[in-house]
Amino acid sequence: MDLCFLSTNITSFVADPLSHEFMRKALLMSSLVAAVCGFLSSYLTLKGWALMGDAVSHSVMPGVVVAYALGLPFSLGAFVFGVGSVALIGFVKQKSRVKEDTVIGLVFTGFFALGIVLISKIKSNIDLHSILFGSPLGISLSDVKQTVLISLLVVILLSVFRKDLILYCFDPRHAKTVGINVLFLHYLLLTCLSLAAVVGLQSVGLVLVVAMLITPGATAYLLTDNFDNMTIISVISAIISSIIGIYFSFWFDLETGGSIVLVQTFIFLFTFLFAPRYGIFKFKKIIF
Amino acid sequence: MDKLNFKNYRIEAENICVDYHGKVALYDANLRLKAGQICGLVGMNGAGKTTFFNALTGFVNISKGKIRINGESLKIAQQDQTIAYVPQIEGIDSQFPVSVWDVVMMGRYGSMNILRSPRESDIQAVKDAIERVDLMELSSIPIGNLSGGQRKRTFLARAIAQRASILLLDEPFAGVDIRTEKLISELFIQFKNEGKTILLSTHDMIHVREFCDLVLLINKTVVAYGETSEVFTPENITSTFGGMSPDVLFGPES
């Protein structure tokens, strides 16, 4: 009797939101975005590009605003400013004595501020709140198309150049020595980062997108010593976080982006404590 | 040297300079090595040893001078897999989630297709290389679980799998166990007999005497270069190490 009641409850917990079209769309799109960001995440955490991810995701802001104002696809604007910010970081670092992390902080806050000022000045229907915190429940059809296209592109690029990118993250000097184009790989990874930031932006917003790009990878890194498994775990944990996050946001009326990222953080914390080999409380052998 | 002799040199570095954002790391350095020669690169920390390696692999650009490998440009040497670099153990991320097999396979990437999918010959080359460094039973182990010596052997195996004719080794004997040291010594003799050219940096003066036909003493530039028996003198070593007595460095009997 009690058990029956419970199971009805769980069924409605899972099934009720699915009766809304916007929820089905949000779940699908967020899972896709999470998968792409999770895929990239294993490279970024190993390359040590967390701060770079933060910089790029903030720097795309003016690009999005300008693209909207000019009626261009917002991914294009975001891409230009994302890659542009990194080029600028590299330039300032090389030409001055200021340390790299300072330059990164300096450049991305400058771009971000420009974005905020532009929004306040340019008359448009851009909602600052949805850019900053995401709006997975209000994704339009053209957004869906763009997200699917960009996601496909990123997944294809990361898959084709998978082994080269692993080598680039691991030992760029060897890559160079055997005639592999390291500069190309550097910009390829940056391009993927900018594109992933753009799609992640819709789901959790600009402020939190960096979490999508590093937390799943960090979680996976604590669970395995194999790069392929790391990517798989990263993608799965990202998707699960998105789904659970959206459900919680639906039932308890929470901000969706924050809810998704919070689930990711909890999964990381749990792994941090209980990972079989690399957790605080070590349990025997590694799973994979 | 006249043009005819040019091809005889495996490595030919002429007056090379490297600077990082205006700071000179290496200037007017020269080096000429032939097939089958082992040359020791000796100098203090910060004397430009790693910079020299970086210049020879093309990892940093030289601001002046010329580098020729087998009489050709560095770009051709890279495409032809001519040079292999074996890094210092501290220079690599030991927690990176790759296995011994994965790392050795990276030695083959340069001659594979764009997807880097191994052919039968690549698999055989990797197997042979791992066997030569005696790590077959550990080939599926993540490099994070290896000892320093085993990790060093993994990167040596990568250079072997690459089938490079020039080996650049950064501190090959630093932080390795006796067994690895013995194995590396034996490999050096085999490499020499196979006609490979070896440039190795080391802090250990005994290793220089033991293996190196030639020695290159540097301190931002070349202090002395030539046959070990002629050049590796207490006076030269003292000036390389900024006035420190060679007694401190390798015992009073030298």
pLDDT tens by residue, A191-202: 899 899 888 887
- Which one of B67, B69, B73, B78 would you mutate to disrupt binding with A, by most A Cβ within 10 Å of its Cβ? B78
Q: Is A71 inside a domain boundary?
A: no
Considering CB atoms only, which of B85, B87, B106 is closest to A167?
A: B106
Question: Using a CB-CB distance cutoff of 8 angstroms, which residues of chain A are in contact with residue B115?
Answer: 160, 163
Which residues lie closer than 8 Å to B193 by C-beta, 6 or more apart? B36
Q: Is A146 inside a domain boundary?
A: yes
Q: Which helix (H) or strand (E) holds A259?
A: helix A256-274
Q: What is the band of A124 on the pLDDT scale with cuts at 50, 70, 90?
A: low
Q: Is A282 inside a domain boundary?
A: no
- Is the pLDDT at B6 greater than 60? The verdict is no
Q: Is A237 inside a domain boundary?
A: yes
Q: What is the band of B2 on the pLDDT scale with cuts at 50, 70, 90?
A: very low
Q: Which helix (H) or strand (E) holds B24?
A: strand B23-33
CA-based nearest residue in chain B for residue A97: B21
Contact between B26 and B220 (Cβ < 8 Å) = yes
CA distance B245 to chain A (A): 35
Question: Using a CB-CB distance cutoff of 8 angstroms, which residues of chain B are in contact with residue A166?
Answer: 98
Contact B109 A163 (CB under 8 A): yes
- Which one of A173, A184, A185 would you mutate to disrupt binding with B, by most B Cβ within 10 Å of its Cβ? A173
- Is the pLDDT at A76 greater than 80? The verdict is yes
CA dihedral A15, A20, A25, A26 (to 10 degrees): -80
**pLDDT reported for residue B7:** 60
- Is the pLDDT at A102 greater than 90? The verdict is yes
Contact between B97 and A224 (Cβ < 8 Å) = yes
- Is the pLDDT at A68 greater than 90? The verdict is no
Question: Using a CB-CB distance cutoff of 8 angstroms, which residues of chain B are in contact with residue A226?
Answer: 97, 99, 142
Q: Count the domains in chain A.
A: 1
Q: Is A172 inside a domain boundary?
A: yes
Least confident span in A117-121, B168-172, B178-182? A117-121
- Token pair listed for A196: 């992933």
- Token pair listed for A264: 């990711």
Q: What is the band of A121 on the pLDDT scale with cuts at 50, 70, 90?
A: confident
Segment B199-215, tens digit of pLDDT: 999 878 888 888 899 99
Sequential DSSP letters for B207-233: HHHHH-SEEEEESSSEEEEEEHHHH--
**pLDDT reported for residue A140:** 80
**pLDDT reported for residue B162:** 97
Contact A174 B158 (CB under 8 A): yes
Question: Using a CB-CB distance cutoff of 8 angstroms, which residues of chain A are in contact with residue B111?
Answer: 178
Segment A132-189, tens digit of pLDDT: 888 888 778 878 888 899 999 999 999 999 999 999 999 999 999 999 999 999 999 9
In this predicted complex, what is the ipTM?
0.91
CA distance B183 to chain A (A): 23
- Token pair listed for A191: 């391009």
* Domain extent for A220: 21-48+128-274
β-bridge partners, B31 = B13
Interface contacts (A, B; CB < 8 Å): 75
Segment B102-152, tens digit of pLDDT: 999 999 999 999 899 999 999 999 999 999 999 999 999 999 999 999 999
CA-based nearest residue in chain B for residue A183: B59
Q: Is A106 inside a domain boundary?
A: no
Segment B212-240, tens digit of pLDDT: 999 999 999 999 999 988 888 888 888 88
Q: Which residue has the tokens 């580098």?
A: B67
Contact A173 B21 (CB under 8 A): no
- Is the pLDDT at B247 greater than 70? The verdict is no
Considering CB atoms only, which of A46, A169, A177 is closest to B84?
A: A177
**pLDDT reported for residue B3:** 44
- Is the pLDDT at A257 greater than 80? The verdict is yes
Q: What is the band of A207 on the pLDDT scale with cuts at 50, 70, 90?
A: confident
**pLDDT reported for residue B202:** 87
Considering CB atoms only, which of B92, B110, B145 is closest to A171?
A: B92
**pLDDT reported for residue A64:** 85
Q: Is A182 inside a domain boundary?
A: yes
Q: Is A67 inside a domain boundary?
A: no
Segment B63-111, tens digit of pLDDT: 999 999 999 999 999 999 999 999 998 889 999 999 999 999 999 999 9
**pLDDT reported for residue B39:** 96
Q: What is the distance between the alpha carbons of residues A75 and A195, in angstroms, rounded to a whole number?
A: 7
Considering CB atoms only, which of B54, B97, B162 is closest to A178?
A: B162
Considering CB atoms only, which of A46, A179, A226 is closest to B110?
A: A179
